[in-house]
Chains A and B, each alone.
Chain A
Amino acid sequence: MADNADKPDDESVNETEATEAKPEAPATETPTAKADEAKPAVEVKKADEKKATEKKADEKPSASRPKMAPGSIGSPIHNTFVIAKREFISYFASPLGYIVIGMFLLLVGFLMFYPFAFLVIGRASLQPLFNSIAWLMPLIAPAIAMRTFAEESRTGTLEMLITQPVRDWEVIVGKFLGAMGLLAICLVATLSYPLAVSRMGQLDAGPVWGGYLGLLLAGGAYVSFGVMVSSYTKDQITAFFGAFIISALLFLLNKALIFFGQAAPVLEYICPDYHYTLLSRGVIDLRNILYFVSVIFVTLLATARSLDSRRWS
């Protein structure tokens, strides 16, 4: 009995933490043909993984059914994509998608013209735009991510989804990417500002690209908080406020450094806005990108833990 109780835990660790131990592990007891076949296919799996990391850059897939080419039907990437697509489309089946985009554009417009004085500074700079969006991210990202798991566990559709032949991380990454799709739409909708400004004067392309990349990554971090909190509750509102509080606290860290004395450099490094600011200057430093990727990765791991813990409650 004790054996059995331990095994699934190991199993879930393999799955959730996406380690590569999977092909060796399952062949122990059940003499299934599939487990045996899995060994020669390790090379294929490696290739699979490389592609996957390129594509998503935030999760290392374990790819325990490695017989098919990456992206082909039934493969982890395919499953993730199918789930992401459904998640993305469903935003527009309800008012939520439109409300989020509308609110976002409205607030961006307000913030950049009023507090950030877009027209007053008299230069062809997009700093006010990026500042506005950066301030809005901790609000908008939780609103996008709040329903991902909460809604599904409230209505019960999560059971139907999880009992399909999909891995937990495929569901998590799929939902994350679906939410990121909506965030990307929001960002794309603001492209009219750089386009307009580039007509008025010489626009430095570096900070624009850096800014958008930084926003996408910072947004990704906040969305991942939203996904994680959403997986712990059945209530979207709880999910929203939970994620908003986490996001806003982290966002504000580098604005309150004088209160922290010795710990200031550490806290500054933890703050997503600090890394975003560096990126938005137009210097694309790999360390900043790595920061966001790791934050997203760790948060989604925590989400996987939360999903797995449902099995044991």
Chain B
Amino acid sequence: MALKDVMIEARDLTKVYGLQRAVDRLSFEIREGEVVGFLGPNGAGKTTTMKILTCFISPSEGAATVAGFDVFEDPLEVRSVLGYLPQRAALYTEMGVVEYLQFIADLRAIPKDKQRAKIGEVVEVCGLKDELSKTIGQLSYGYRQRVGLAQALIHDPKILILDEPTADLDPNESAEVIEYIKRIGKTRTVMLSTHKLAEVKAACGRVLIINKGKIVADGAPDELASRSGRVRYVVGVDDREGLRTNGTARPAPGRDEVLDAVRAVVPGATAKLVEGGDKAHMVEVSHQGGADHRRDFFRMAVDRGWNLVELHREAVQLDEVFRQLTVGDEPRRSAAKASAKGKE
């Protein structure tokens, strides 16, 4: 145990299934109060890692502690401090919602006189109020997921491990759950796995990207997004007429003219014409570096007497970073180095 506020610590976790290394010397720390998104393509080892942390399976090598308790030595304590929502939360379909929550409350050693209040609380929070008379088998997947979440929260755990909490939900339900995770994340440590990047950006203060059982990036979502350092502009110039001065329009530019002009503004950038502009020549410019060239594009248009109809700038999105990190090997290695450096 390095620091007191380290809630989840994994050291060189390895899990071998047959010949496959599902998790390969994985090390990370999650501190108290962090909401960490555990991100990776399917089969990257997210679920395996979570199953190890919740003591459902044992790692082949390495060690892990949860709230200071070792997953080998004190599995019961680990499970007591955790709330865990497994992937596709499987529940006893023949049981009623309240009956099920009571069963979990009993196993969680919540005293009988407090159970009513606790169940009422999680039912309220997870939006299950109207479903109480049903058995779990009668619920939609979205609602089953909520029962799973309610089950994970019933003992007010300090640490929550949620394996793809929004996997089977419709967009509205996902948004609700994410909103809710943000809320509970203020007072708790949350580790959630997902492959929906928008959710990570919305809910998580930190992202761990994992690929082929290894951590390939670790940091705040924004920081990761800007790590690649690439900026993208889209410039659109009116293709029917130029600037109007004193009632007469100046001539509209040709496509190549626009492309050349744009290239002149940002030397060294890759620029290409893109289709689909609405009565405009559209050029996409991608370049490395922090300087903001939007003013330059505006000036370019004015100087040449063109109508600038579209202009925006964006940092390369997290999706793209994710793709870079999890597809192909070269960028992965360098990113792993970067994240290792970042940790020190």
Contact = CB atoms under 8 A, between A and B. Distances in A.
Interface in A63-102: 64-65, 73-74, 78-79, 82-83, 86, 90, 93-94
The secondary-structure label for the interface of chain A is helix
Contacts of A157: 90-92
B60 A5 contact: yes
B72 interface: yes
Interface residues of A, number: 40
Contact of A162 (B12, B56, B88): B56
A110 B94 CA distance: 33
Contact of B88 (A26, A94, A156): A156
Interface in B267-285: none
Contacts of A83: 107
B70 interface: yes
A8 B62 CA distance: 12
A247 B89 CA distance: 35
A30 B70 contact: yes
Contact of A160 (B73, B77, B91, B112): B91
A159 B56 contact: yes
Interface residues of B, number: 46
A167 B76 contact: yes
Contact of A164 (B77, B104, B112): B104
B108 A165 contact: yes
Nearest to A7: B72
Contacts of A167: 76
Nearest to B151: A160
Contact of A165 (B51, B61, B76): B76
Nearest to B72: A8
A164 B70 contact: no
A79 B86 CA distance: 21
A10 B92 CA distance: 32
A36 interface: no
B20 to A, nearest CB: 13
Given A8-B72, A11-B73, A74-B109, A310 B92 contact: no
A8 B112 CA distance: 34
A82 B58 CA distance: 26
Contacts of B80: 165
A32 B69 CA distance: 8
Interface in A163-184: 163-167
7 contacts: A32-B69, A34-B77, A35-B74, A73-B106, A78-B109, A159-B90, A162-B56
